[in-house]
Copies of this chain bind each other. A is one copy, B any other.
């Protein structure tokens, strides 16, 4: 979780010397993660990088360019959704509550827009030692548009030995244990609890009369 810039720099240096280099990241490197920093730093260093699928089509690295392949993984939104059951069966959005690199006003605008338009919402980086008030502010914004009883799931340390799954409501979210390892799922109008699961309807029920 630290020294990302140094690690990417070392990887690019080695790759430019002709080495095959793997840059390892947890979750999916393409969701709020290191794929972007790697490409940004290639660009900043004026490295000619080409996607591996381009290279496979004949544009090989004989030109001196770096072939870059991003290997997808399981992001926290998929791991958490799987543990909760099926909250992401309909349109959803992912919003990071970290205002370290994004102005809080932008984050508020997105929270408000997504709640008004009845998206299922996945909140990344909900809380840390230094950022303690953002989640409660987000909850208040969502309470303006979503019912207090909207089901909410909090998944912490998904798929790790100390994983913790909490199912609550928007009204009670402030009582849940949330930390840096948590991802928070807020339902849409059709999300409901089924036992310990969160279930968002796609509409099959109406169509097929289950």
Contacts and interface: CB of A to CB of B under 8 A. Distances in A.
Interface of A: 4-5, 28-33, 35-44, 48-51, 53-54, 68-75, 78-79, 81-83, 85-96, 101-102, 106-107, 109-110, 112-114, 116-119, 163, 165, 194-197, 199-208, 210
A196 B43 CA distance: 12
Contacts of A28: 74, 78, 82
Contact of A196 (B50, B71, B85): B50
A189 to B, nearest CB: 10
B113 A49 contact: no
Contacts of A203: 101-102
Contacts of A165: 51, 53
27 contacts: A5-B210, A28-B74, A30-B82, A31-B88, A32-B90, A35-B86, A36-B202, A39-B86, A39-B197, A49-B194, A49-B197, A50-B195, A51-B83, A51-B85, A51-B197, A69-B82, A70-B82, A70-B86, A71-B82, A73-B78, A74-B74, A91-B94, A92-B94, A93-B93, A93-B94, A93-B114, A113-B114
